[in-house]
Amino acid sequence: MSADINNLEQIASQVRRDIVRMVHACQSGHPGGSLGCTDYFVALYFHAMKHDPSFNMNGVNEDLFFLSNGHISPVFYSTLARAGYFPVSELSTFRKIDSRLQGHPTTHEHLPGIRIASGSLGQGLSVAIGAAQAKKLNKDDSLIYVLMGDGELQEGQVWEAAMYAPHNKIDNLIAAVDYNGAQIDGSTEQVLSLGNLRAKWEAFGWDVLEVEKGNDMASVIQGIDEAKSRTGKGKPVVILLHTEMGNGVDYMMGSHKWHGVAPNDEQLELALNQLPRTIGDY
């Protein structure tokens, strides 16, 4: 198990390098949330999910992942490339003209691994529920995963979906909230308080579990495994994933300021010095 964790940490380090290099190369994009969610993405695609990088849109008998907060596309793209969905060299095209790696994820350019466009917030949970219901109709017992931002929970549609899933016993669904407490204009506490998030999800009828250390691979693995064990029991499951925006790059941590800002040349060097090259850069 510890060798496994070590391996996942190596992948995560490389994904973090990819993220800062991608964002630096086009001088735009969202490094903060991407770095914070890196461990979760790596744990999903390299540990938890049953999935096939040869990619088929319907994903029959595969676990499917949906990214609702599409602005953290760098971590999504890097993870997909590192998992074999498309060549890692394509990461250099991120946000550039004629690229399949659009600023926010899209199916429109037929990038393997993407099943829905996201970016305009609040829509991913609904889509995930639909995909979960399709799986039930198809008697396909694999799982649906969806990740949302915590600021994103300010969108009303999220709560329409949150009300719907328990009523309909969508128990093949594991939602996660990137609970980093930060959004563009400041902390969620300042901008629009989320209040008692656990109580809110519980009141809506969800089985809630918290991963206190969302940037510790062992904790993340344990949390996802626990969430999986709670599926199939009549309730949807949500993970409150406590992460740190910018995790892995010291000057980006503990601030919302790197939500959507790219590092300059000097800052890139500084970041890369903190992130060991493991598998190899693209």
Partner 1 sequence: MKKYTYTESKDTRSGFGAGLLEAGKQNENVVALCADLIGSLKMNDFIKEFPERFFQIGIAEANMMGIAAGLTIGGKIPFTGTFANFSTGRVYDQIRQSIAYSDKNVKICASHAGLTLGEDGATHQILEDIGLMKMLPGMTVINPCDFNQTKAATIAIANYEGPVYLRFGRPVVPNFTPADQTFEVGKAVMLNEGTDVTIIATGHLVWEAIQAGEELEKLGIHAEIINIHTIKPLDEEAVLKSVTKTGCVVTAEEHNRLGGLGDSVAQLLATKKPSPQEFVAVNDSFGESGTPAQLMEKYGLNAKSIVAAARKVIARK
Q: Is 137 in the site for partner 1 (CB under 8 A)?
A: yes
Per-residue buried b or exposed e for 107-118, using 16+ beta carbons within 10 Å of the residue's own CB = eeeebebbbbeb
Mapped onto helix, strand or coil, the DSSP state of residue 105 is coil
126 touches partner 1 by CB under 8 A: yes
Angle at which helix 217-229 crosses helix 2-26, to 10 degrees, equals 110
Say whether residue 51 binds partner 1 (CB under 8 A): no
- What is d(CA 173, CA 113) in angstroms, rounded to the nearest whole number? 18
Q: Minimum CB separation from partner 1 for residue 77, in Å?
A: 17
Q: How far is the CB of 56 from partner 1 (least distance, A)?
A: 10
Phi, psi of 179 (to 5 degrees): -95, 75
Q: Determine, following the binding rule CB under 8 A, whether residue 28 of this chain makes contact with partner 1.
A: no
Please give the sequence-ordered ranges of beta strands (E in DSSP) within 94-172, or none if there are none. Answer: 144-149
- Residue 128 C-beta: closest distance to partner 1, Å: 6
Site for partner 1 contains 69 (CB under 8 A): no
Residue 106 near partner 1 by CB under 8 A: yes
Return d(Cα 235, Cα 115) in angstroms, integer: 24
Q: Tell whether residue 125 is a contact of partner 1 (CB under 8 A).
A: yes
The answer to whether 135 contacts partner 1 (rule: CB under 8 A) is yes
Cα–Cα distances (Å) from 207 to 78, 183, 184, 235, in that order, read 30, 25, 29, 6
Distance from the Cα of residue 232 to its chain's centroid: 22
Does residue 73 touch partner 1 according to CB under 8 A? no
CA distance readout (Å), 77 to 28, 112, 204:
15, 10, 32
Question: How near is the Cβ of 50 to partner 1 at its closest, in Å?
Answer: 15
Tallying the residues shown for the chain, one arrives at: 282
* C-alpha–C-alpha distance, residues 174 and 266, integer Å: 39
Q: Could you identify the residue written with the tokens 């344990």?
A: 222
Q: Which is nearest to 91 in space by CA: 113, 69, 108?
A: 113
Asked if 57 interacts with partner 1 (CB under 8 A), we say: yes
Cβ closer to partner 1: 60 or 203?
60
Q: CB of residue 39 vs partner 1: minimum separation in angstroms?
A: 26
Q: Does 140 bind partner 1 (CB under 8 A)?
A: yes
* 169 interacts with partner 1 by CB under 8 A: no
Residue selected from 28, 99, 157, 219 as contacting partner 1 according to rule CB under 8 A: 157
Among 116, 147, 153, 220, binds partner 1 (CB under 8 A): 116
Size of the site for partner 1 (CB under 8 A): 40
Q: Contacting partner 1 (CB under 8 A), which of 50, 96, 108, 277?
A: 108
Q: Given CA atoms 23, 29, 33, 37 in this order, what sign does their dihedral have?
A: negative
Closest distance of CB 132 from partner 1, Å: 7
Asked if 160 is part of the footprint of partner 1 (rule: CB under 8 A), the reply reads yes
| Comparison of 60 and 184: residue with beta carbon closer to partner 1 | 60
Q: Does 132 bind partner 1 (CB under 8 A)?
A: yes
The site for partner 1 (CB under 8 A) is made up of 57-60, 64, 66, 106-108, 115-120, 122-135, 137-138, 140, 156-157, 160-161, 163-164, 167-168
